[in-house]
Structure 1
Amino acid sequence: MTDARQAPSSRALIERSLKRRNAAERRFRLYGVLAICVALGFLALLLGRIIQQGHSAFVAHEMSVSVPLDPSRIDRSYPAGANYDLMAAEQVGALLGISPTDEAALTEVREILSPDVGLQLGEQVRDDPALIGQTITIHAPLGDDADQYLKGEINRETLEAQRVLTDRQLDWIDRLEARGVISSALNTGLFTRGDSTQAELAGLLGAIVGSALMLLVTAAVALPIGLLAAVWLEEFAPKGRLTDFIEVNINNLAAVPSIVYGLLGLAVFINTLGLPRASPLVGGLVLALMALPTVIIATRSSLRAVPPSIREAALALGASKTQAVFGHVVPLAMPGVMTGAIIALAHALGETAPLLMIGMISFVPGVAEGFTSAASTLPTQIFIWENAAERAFHERTAAAIIVLLAFMILMNAAAIFLRRRFERRW
């Protein structure tokens, strides 16, 4: 009788326990889904804010103006000394009904024009003095403040004293746009120009070239050294305290803050070896040191994933240890090796702190001509532009972030493709 009475009670306990377990499992799944949703929400918020702020930088407003090159105002022996900016401003002023003698109004007109107008005129006259006396048409970017107004970043309703453009200048811009003198187009200069103190003339070409040269140095140093070090540790090194010590330190180096590598590069490569500051060579060497632990760890994991039977089969057929490793094991591990290498390089591409320590925060207007030339990179260019005072540079900062993210996404996509394309299931 006692067992019969206890049986329902035990069954009820088991059922309640199962319900609690199932409820706990459902809550755990719900927490997981919520965590993913929160992470995706923050990611969407971040990307949305960057795209919202930076998409307008890929479009620029330019002005078309025909300028007569008056021979009386240009010295043929020294054509660069002419005031081409004033000549262009006078022609724009003529379209607006401004007298050439109204110096105050012409000064305001010049403020809405880009210095590129005068630069283009001067370069064309310098290259072809026969243009003096003729009328030439210039297509140049609009000044950064006028460009920001047409993009809606400067509000006419704001008090005039709190704006960089006066009401009269805003009226002129509207009139010129209505007459078709001002038009919008794809901002190709963002990718074909180097950095500049003028926001409308600043581009990313110098930073892109600098990043590419730096990654070439990083890959040339980190990949072969990392591969050989991983092969030695995994396949040839005798197991003992020395190898254990090396393995522990490699794992620890992977967690060292990146700015420490920048200090090391400043002390060793610049102060001791005398290599040029702010050069892709030094930047690549510093990032190579930072990428080495990641490359070694990824390569060792790939080598470990190759079945021992591959090694044993090669040795059984008479291959030496070296032949078995480099002829069979390493080729089979290459998909994982390449994936780890690309991820390490993508990580290096986005690093900023070590590059700031070696002087890559400097203003570099041109494009690096070699590995020892002064250069900028995409992360440091973003840092420099974000600290600029002009509003238009902040727009370009977000655009540069979009370009950097695009490069990193492409590199990670390449890593995923290589892994799926060449990976073998054992």
Structure 2
Amino acid sequence: MTLWIVVRNLRVRAFSTFLTLLGIALATAMALVVPLVLQSLERGAANAAQVFDLLIAAKGSPTQAVLSSLYLLQPPIANLPYATYERLARDPRARRVVPLAFGDSYRGFPLIGTSTQVFELRLTPTDPPYFRLKQGRPFLHTYEAVLGARAARETGLKVGAEFLSDHGFFASQAEAASALAHHQEEKYRVVGILEPTGGPWDRAILVPIEAYWEVHGEGEGKREVTAVLFTGRRLSDVYQVAQEVNRSPEAQAVLPGQVFAQLREAMLQGQSAYGALSLLVLFLAALLIWQGIYAQGLERRRHNALLRALGAPRGLVFSVLLWETTLEVGLGILLGVLLGWGLAAAGSGALGERLGFYLPPPKLSLDLLARAFALLPLGILAALPPAFQAMRESPLEYL
């Protein structure tokens, strides 16, 4: 009986019910979107860098070194002497030492001069190679190229295709289109295409580092590298090499995990500020609920009086108003959670496309759900005063 009356009342004032549900859903979604997107960004960024143990780059900002050499988001600032790479390559503690050279691009996708050891990088020593070929083979000769999955897809280059690189670490195809003329005479030939990794190097075009030196006129005595990826035989080797490199005047050793932890702290500070704002939004939503319930209580005095005159007990009048509020707020919160997750998923996808690496779908944690469903008891509390008032009022005043 009570449920039938509640549903009927909500249907009779359908427009008012819709506005209440919309207000609650929007407030709930706003409280969830940014934390969910930041969580996806955190997980995606951590996954994208986990294959790189130690990055060695020129002295400067560790964050900039990671963003340029690992995430391919910024141009590098300076190069290292080739002797630095040679010294690391001869180190008995090294399992793999991979040189990196940046400076050229093709239609906005960065060319990375490197060695074939890049195809041996693994998440753990027992895992299969991180960069696996989908088609073709690794490069063997100077002007051969292996394309990341996204670079191949968006440039349309196939195995056997040839292209000329552009000078400069361009961030977009539009910038590349307005670049200077091609600065090399011999074309690169595509010999392989990599499987998708979901990481930023899906945008990369891997070429032999000898081609980079030749294109830029770097002879035996002038050779440089932009960065070096170092993998130690043991974890202790990585930390020992990092300490030794950081004592040198020309290079710095960067542990990507430490840099990411610092970035995470900055993100958490921003998330805390947004959390305070979202609580304010939820509080305003609670006020909206209270105002709507109070206004509905005033409008329905005659309806409540009619129920009482027909013999409805006080408890029925009280429970009808309370259940209406619970149902409205509960449905509004559920719609808001679905809307917030959907917006966060779309936002994560768009942000991942812009950054160049995959962001996993957002996950609804218990603390975020608790924050959203905090509106439910607030709505019920807001319904108590008009419910008690409707229960106490005499039907004779309104009939």
What TM-score, normalized by structure 2, do the two folds share? 0.32
Q: With a CA cutoff of 8 Å and minimum separation of 6, indicate the structure with the bigger relative contact order.
A: 2
Instruction: Flag the structure with higher strand content.
Output: 2
What TM-score, normalized by structure 1, do the two folds share? 0.31
Instruction: Flag the structure with higher helix content.
Output: 1
